[in-house]
Structure 1
């Protein structure tokens, strides 16, 4: 496995990661860390324009196939369907 390095070139060890995780689990900032902004709860928006819900009815076997394919690709069903729609709108 390739070494993980900090911006200044210092190698990050498993021991360092464990120590940081322990401190963060106790709501403490590890030594040398600083807060650079507000903590934002939730996932980031999908676009700057905002999002809208698109609800469609599909046959049950199609829904199962979509869910299976999404899982195979390591995506949520929503992300998988969004990628299909985006691909079709660009190439369609």
Structure 2
């Protein structure tokens, strides 16, 4: 018998249960007792519940390349990096 774990809701989960769930998912099936809450939604979720807007900013070419490199190093897109940098600046100003 494998190891047992206690989930946050108090349910006891065993290695055998996890293995059975994995096998079901790998076959493209839901494990016994599981169900979906809706269809598959393709694409990424929205960035914000309040909607988004485009902000165009002119920056030197060297800065754009520095943003691209830094974003890549952090596993982000340049847009994600820029949003994070702007958010940090706004939070710091508060």
TM-score by length of 1: 0.70
Q: Residue 10 of structure 1: SS of its match in structure 2?
A: strand
Larger CA deviation: 14-23 vs 47-56: 14-23
Q: Confirm or deny that 1:9 pairs with 2:12.
A: yes
1:53 is aligned to 54
Contact 2:6 2:12 in 1 (8 A): yes
Change (3 A) 1:69 1:41: same
Greater RCO, CA 8 A, separation 6+: 2
Post-superposition offset of 1:41: 2.0
Of structures 1 and 2, the larger Rg is shown by 2
Tell me the SS of whatever aligns to 1:75: coil
Aligned CA-pair RMSD: 2.6
CA–CA distance in structure 1, aligned partners of residues 5 and 44 of structure 2: 26
For residues 4 and 45 of structure 1, the distance between their equivalents in structure 2, rounded to whole angstroms, comes to: 35
Structure 2 portions without partners, runs of 5+: none
Structure-2 residue corresponding to 1:35 = 36
1:66 counterpart SS class: helix
Deviation at 1:4, TM superposition (A): 7.4
Give the number of aligned pairs: 87
Residues 70 and 80 of structure 1 are in contact (CA less than 8 Å); yes or no, is this contact kept in structure 2? yes
Alpha-carbon spacing, 1:29–1:17, altered in 2? closer, same or farther (3 Å): closer
